[in-house]
Structure 1
Amino acid sequence: MATAHPNLFSFPSTDYLAQQLRGYVLRAQNAALTRHDTFRLAVSGGSLPTVLARALLAPSNGSPEDTPQFAKWHIFFADERAVPLDHEDSNYRLLKDELVSKIPSELGAPTVHAIDANHVNDDDPQELADLYQEELMRSFAAKDSVKLPVFDLILLGCGPDGHTCSLFPGHELLREKDAWVAAETNSPKPPPKRITLTLPVVTHAVSIAFVATGAGKKDILKKIFDQEEGRSIPSALVNQGGGEKVSWFTDHPAVEGISFPRRGSL
């Protein structure tokens, strides 16, 4: 269990947040490329792909450090819905529409690791989860030689109930210790069938970032950061497990009234 505190950043606008997120992501990219010449990240759905696109598709300042090297990116999904890849609920479709399809050709194309579309209509999404875990094994080495995959970066959202990925408050999946990818058959938020990275995989990443904006998030963020009763909320469990590896990118309305110390720059 990590003991250091997460980093809470608050910015005056989503445009400025996107600028800061760009620098953060590209520093993670550059460090990863130095380590192993590939950048392996996992992303969530929701509003995150839109903010990520605003960050990464902005003009570069021309330096190598400020240039996305998309051809070396391997993008996985922190969670995904058991729907066809072209379905409106698909995180794959959302990322493709918002970001991947808009990347200029000269920047290269990332490798996007989608779920196996042949199994999205199965009654039980466990096979879908098992196949996606095998996909991770191919990139991160065999499971028997690596206890947990080490993502270079995981980018997350935070729901109004504090859920992240498809890890919901009070759910038994929060206690999963061994699987890399788990199945959810009865999500409290539709669609009901999903797969998700497990909590140990999320907190094992080199860097973890949440993006949470808008006044609608201030009540749950106050619970997560200020209140003892919020310690069991999934997003708070990521804070506890990841410690200083975790950074929150918020705007001012999302953290109004929160006493946890926050910063205005990285």
Structure 2
Amino acid sequence: MSAAAPVVRRHDDADSLVGDVASALLDRLEAAQSRGEVPQVGLTGGTIAESLHRELARRASDSSVDWSRVVFWWGDERFVPADSPDRNARQAREALLDHVPVDPAHVHEVPASDEVATAEDAAEAYSAAMREHGAGFFEVLMLGIGPDGHCASLFPGHPVLEARDAIAVAVHDSPKPPPDRVTLTFEALQHARSVWFIASGEGKAEAVARALADEGSVTETPARGVRGDETVWWLDEDAASAL
């Protein structure tokens, strides 16, 4: 069965966008746990993600989510030292994970450059962790989109777009610093009940429009290449302005 067409949800501004995404995610986690599941979530980085993480932490005490029964992953990571501010995982910890009662065994970070020798080693270890601890799908996978149309660390025209039969791969010569990264592949990102693209700001508008156009190339706009069983684009008016 092919994935359903993407759904677009527009919001007046970044604050209302963040609030609605936070509400929807808490609802999804509560529903999954009420079914007896331990939901697996893919986190992303960036400014709007940091705002979302802080909002989730603020609302945590009012929600019935059992944070010790949520498993966390990342769609991609920068291959830098563990304490680098460039790390998506560090950002998520400081804004959310350090403020809710997670089970450390359920937080799966990509190994850092001061933990393993190469980005290939990090990708191999992350793939092994996902094979061992993954559910085979994300309940919700959150992704951003760059002005160039990239998502995770899948950049336009980059050789890594062609990766097959792999969960995570090393990325070198990234057009956006830092140059070395680890990313989940298209194949791994597709294993999601729901993929949520979250975009804010006029700088994302053209890329969003290309990603949602009826026709276009995944090579030119990699965000076109990720769909879950359900795919939702959460946008503020600026990011939706070219639709």
TM-score between the two structures when normalised by the length of structure 1: 0.82
Q: Deviations over 1:104-160 (max 9, x none)?
A: xxxx224321223466563x411110011111112137xxxxxxx211111111011
Match of 1:77 in 2: 74
Q: Deviations over 1:50-74 (max 9, x none)?
A: 1322431344695xxx433211111
Flag the 1:83–1:120 CA change in 2: closer, same or farther, 3 A.
Answer: farther
Match of 1:156 in 2: 143
Flag the 1:136–1:36 CA change in 2: closer, same or farther, 3 A.
Answer: farther
Match of 1:193 in 2: 180
**Letter aligned with residue 245 of structure 1:** E
Count of matched residue pairs:
240
Flag the 1:67–1:49 CA change in 2: closer, same or farther, 3 A.
Answer: farther
Distance in 2 between the 1:139 and 1:31 partners? 21
Flag the 1:61–1:90 CA change in 2: closer, same or farther, 3 A.
Answer: closer
Match of 1:44 in 2: 44
Match of 2:102 in 1: 109
Distance in 2 between the 1:194 and 1:171 partners? 13
Match of 1:146 in 2: none
Distance in 2 between the 1:42 and 1:98 partners? 16
Q: Deviations over 1:35-89 (max 9, x none)?
A: 5531211111112431322431344695xxx433211111111101111111121
Q: Is the 8 A contact 2:82 2:114 kept in 1?
A: no
Note the C-alpha offset of 1:5. 1.1
Sequence identity, in percent?
30
Distance in 2 between the 1:58 and 1:98 partners? 10
Flag the 1:59–1:32 CA change in 2: closer, same or farther, 3 A.
Answer: closer
Distance in 2 between the 1:35 and 1:80 partners? 31
Corresponding residue to 2:224 among 231, 236, 260: 236
Where do 5+ consecutive residues of structure 2 fail to align? none
Q: Secondary structure at the match of 1:168?
A: coil
Q: Secondary structure at the match of 1:57?
A: helix
Match of 1:263 in 2: none
Note the C-alpha offset of 1:3. 5.3
Q: Secondary structure at the match of 1:51?
A: helix
Match of 1:262 in 2: none
Distance in 2 between the 1:77 and 1:127 partners? 17
Q: Is the 8 A contact 1:83 1:121 kept in 2?
A: no
**Letter aligned with residue 154 of structure 1:** L
TM-score between the two structures when normalised by the length of structure 2: 0.89
Match of 1:138 in 2: 132
Flag the 1:178–1:13 CA change in 2: closer, same or farther, 3 A.
Answer: same
Match of 1:183 in 2: 170
Q: Is the 8 A contact 1:82 1:120 kept in 2?
A: no
Q: Is the 8 A contact 1:166 1:194 kept in 2?
A: yes
Match of 1:254 in 2: 239
**Letter aligned with residue 72 of structure 2:** I
Flag the 1:230–1:57 CA change in 2: closer, same or farther, 3 A.
Answer: same
Q: Is the 8 A contact 1:11 1:250 kept in 2?
A: yes
Where do 5+ consecutive residues of structure 1 fail to align? 142-148, 259-266
| Bigger fraction of residues in helix | 1
Flag the 1:131–1:119 CA change in 2: closer, same or farther, 3 A.
Answer: farther
Flag the 1:112–1:256 CA change in 2: closer, same or farther, 3 A.
Answer: same
Q: Is the 8 A contact 1:28 1:207 kept in 2?
A: no
Q: Is the 8 A contact 2:18 2:48 kept in 1?
A: no
Flag the 1:237–1:137 CA change in 2: closer, same or farther, 3 A.
Answer: same
Match of 2:213 in 1: 226
